[in-house]
Amino acid sequence: MAMSATPARRQGFHLNTAARNQNLGLAFIAPWLIGFVAFTVYPIVASLYYSFTLYDVINSPEWVGLQNYTNLIANDPQIPVVIYNTFYMVFLGLPSAMVVSFLLAGLLNNQIAGRPVFRTIFFLPSIVPVVAVSLVWLWLYNPNYGLINSTLAALGLQVIPWLSSPSLAKLSLIIISVWAQGTTIVIFLAALQEVPRELYDAAKVDGANGLHRFVSVTLPLCTPSILFVMITGLIGWFQYFTLPFIMTNGGPMQSTNLYAYYLYQNAFQFFKMGYASAMSWILFLIIVAFTFIAFRSSARWVYYAGG
């Protein structure tokens, strides 16, 4: 009897220890779980519910079914404008930022004097607060006393209406975003440093010039990083908001009124929270669709060295 009781007692001890460890682990992660439910799960579920209601934040929401979505797709004259502006920013800004970042990363990957200093200089814009960046560029772009236009005027050249011209306002914002791609440069630089040097040596032996080595060796081995930057860039550029909000307020003539900015207007200026929630879910579906397309197409052009 004593011998049979000992294993049972040990088993009960192990069960109690496992339960105690599990409860201790749950206690440690409880603050994160509470924050995740309160600030992530609940807002997502609430926004989905509000997207089917008329809700002005003050009064109780009124269920209207798909009315917000039908108004968004068929009845809002601003939607074609903001969709065009947003797609313009995404399909011009994202490739421009990726190309410039990759080229700068390639330059910083070479053995040049003062390379750590240049790496620091290129990375600094990405850690400067966006509000500070916006204020600096507002001064640079100022048509009367801005540094850029003052320099052009001193050289006898025509002053450029960077933010006051509907045809130039989006390009002006893209220039700022491309300038602040320090994080992307670091990602590409890390990818370039992982390319085996022996592959370049073998390509040289085969008679490949610099362009051929770049196309046949560098690019294929950097495609996983390119895919990552493209996916995160799609998510970020579709939600482009801060610079238009601070610098242009959607102008001039609605030329920088992007989807995220119009969503903000509906939610916090027009107090159409239900309509804004519907806009957010449409934006979510758009981002999911483009992300899915990017992942599906990656099998054709992304090369994994270990695969």
Superfamily of domain 67-128+169-301: MetI-like (1.10.3720.10)
Going by pLDDT thresholds of 50, 70 and 90, the confidence category of residue 61 is very high
Taking only Cα atoms into account, the Rg of the chain, rounded to an integer number of angstroms, comes to 27
Going by pLDDT thresholds of 50, 70 and 90, the confidence category of residue 209 is confident
Q: Which of 11-25, 39-53, 177-191, 271-285 has the lowest mean pLDDT?
A: 11-25
Question: Helices (DSSP H) in 214-272: which residue ranges?
Answer: 219-238, 242-243, 259-268
pLDDT at 1: 47
Residue 211: other Cβ atoms inside 10 A:
8
Phi, psi of 79 (to 5 degrees): -60, -45
CB 92 within 8 A of CB 177: no
Instruction: Please give the C-alpha separations between residue 141 and each of 161, 172, 275, in angstroms, as whole numbers.
Output: 8, 9, 35
Q: Is the pLDDT of residue 67 over 80?
A: yes
Q: Cα dihedral sign for 131, 80, 279, 235? A: negative
Number of helices (H), then strands (E), in the chain: 16, 2
115 or 68, higher pLDDT: 68
CA 87 to chain CA centroid, Å, is: 14
Residue 95: other Cβ atoms inside 10 A:
12
pLDDT at 147: 92
Q: Is the pLDDT of residue 151 over 90?
A: yes
Instruction: Please give the C-alpha separations between residue 198 and each of 117, 204, 205, in angstroms, as whole numbers.
Output: 28, 10, 10
| Strand ranges for the chain from DSSP E | 53-54, 62-63
Q: Is the pLDDT of residue 4 over 70?
A: no
Q: Which amino acid is at 230?
A: M
Record the tokens describing residue 154, joined without a space. Answer: 């001193």
8 or 79, higher pLDDT: 79
Work out the widest C-alpha separation in the chain, in whole angstroms. Answer: 105
Record the tokens describing residue 224, joined without a space. Answer: 């996983």
Q: Is the pLDDT of residue 26 over 90?
A: no
pLDDT in tens, 80-91: 999 999 999 999
Domain boundaries defined on the chain: 2-39, 67-128+169-301
Strands 62-63 and 53-54: antiparallel
Q: Cα dihedral sign for 190, 191, 192, 196? A: positive
